[in-house]
Amino acid sequence: MALDTLKLKPMIYWPELQLVFIRPYRVGSSTTIELITRNTGISPEILGPDDYPLLNSSHGHSIAKGILDTPELVQICKECLVFTQHRNPFTWVVSLYHHLIQSFKEEREWTKTKYATLREECSGDIDNFVAIRYHNHQQGSDRSFSHLWGNHELVDEFIPLEDRGPGLSKVFKHIGVEWRSEYLDPVVNGLDYDRNKDWYSTESRERIKVMYAEDFKRYYPDEL
C-alpha cells in the first residue's frame, strides 16, 4: 500500500471484517495496515478529513476528539472491533528524532513552516534534540499516547508496538480470521530501536520519563 494513499488518513476501516484501526503518530501504523491487508486479502477504507472534517489532525494520525465529535464515526466504532497501537516512549522519541532529521534534509513540504525550529532541533545528537524539544519539563500531553487515547472508551484493544505480533493475533482471533505470523519480521515488529540501547544521557532519560510519565505508568512500568 502506497504511503501517499495514507497521507492525512487517521482512521482505517475494514467493513467486511468489522475492524477499525486508529493511527497514532510514529507507532508503525503503515506496517500494521499492510500486515492486516496481506493477511486477509482485504483492502480497507481509509478515512480522513476529506471524508470527515473533524479528522483533520497532523501527519494523518488521529486523536480521540475528532472521532468522538463525529456521530457517524462513533457508530462505526460501536459496530466494530477497534484497536490502536502505542510505543515505548524511549524508542518513540528516537523514531521521532530520525524522522524529523530525514524530513528536514529532504525539505518536505510540511517542514517549511517549521524551518527555524527544526533546524535547531536537528542540529545535534539526540540529547540536544531532547533538551531543545522538551526544555520546559512539562508532560508531553500533545504527544502522549495516554493523553490522546488512554481513556478513549471506543477502543477495545491497545497493542504495544513491541508485541505487535501477539497483539494482532488476538485481534484476528476476535474477528474470526487466521493470523499468519510469517508476514512479521523483527524490524516491523517494533524492534528496530532496541529500548535497552544506551541512546540517551542520564539527564535525557529522566527528562523523557517526566514528559511521558503517564505512558510509562500505564504501559511500561518496568522502565520507571
Q: For domain 3-223, is the CATH number 3.40.50?
A: yes
Cα 214 from chain centroid?
16
Query: pLDDT digit string (tens) for 160-172?
Result: 988 888 999 999 9
Q: What is the pLDDT of residue 40?
A: 93
Q: What is the pLDDT of residue 44?
A: 94
Cα Rg for the chain, rounded, in angstroms? Answer: 18
Segment 111-136 mean pLDDT: 86
Q: Which residue has the higher pLDDT, 79 or 1?
A: 79
Cα 120 from chain centroid?
24
Q: Which residue has the higher pLDDT, 111 or 185?
A: 111
Q: Which residue has the higher pLDDT, 183 or 161?
A: 161
Contacts 24+ apart (CB under 8 A), 178-187: 178/39, 179/39, 180/39, 183/35, 183/38, 183/39, 184/35
Query: pLDDT digit string (tens) for 21-63?
Result: 988 878 888 889 989 998 999 999 988 777 787 776 554 445 6
In whole angstroms, give the CA distance from residue 132 to residue 117: 9
Give the model's confidence band at 72: pLDDT under 50 very low, under 70 low, under 90 confident, else very high: very high
Q: What is the pLDDT of residue 70?
A: 86
Buried b vs exposed e over 74-96: b needs ≥16 C-beta within 10 Å? eebbeebbbbbbbbbbbbbbbbb
Query: pLDDT digit string (tens) for 192-214?
Result: 555 556 789 999 999 999 888 88
In whole angstroms, give the CA distance from residue 66 to residue 161: 23
- What is the percent of the chain with per-residue pLDDT over 70, rounded to a whole number? 79
Q: What is the pLDDT of residue 1?
A: 45
Q: What is the pLDDT of residue 197?
A: 66
Give the model's confidence band at 4: pLDDT under 50 very low, under 70 low, under 90 confident, else very high: very low
Amino acid identity, position 132: I
Give the model's confidence band at 82: pLDDT under 50 very low, under 70 low, under 90 confident, else very high: very high
HEC states along 140-182?
Answer: CCCCCHHHHHHCCCCCCEEEEHHHHHHHHHHHHHHHCCCCCHH
Three-class secondary structure of residue 189 per DSSP? helix
Three-class secondary structure of residue 7 per DSSP? coil
Reference 131, options 194, 205, 195; nearest CA is 205
Cα 133 from chain centroid?
19
Cell (9 digits) for 223: 522502565
Cα 75 from chain centroid?
23
HEC states along 30-66?
Answer: HHHHHHHHHHHCCCCEEECCCCCHHHCCHHHCCCHHH
Average pLDDT, the chain: 81
What are the structural domain ranges in the chain? 3-223
Q: Cα-flanking dihedrals φ and ψ of residue 66, to 5°?
A: -60, -30
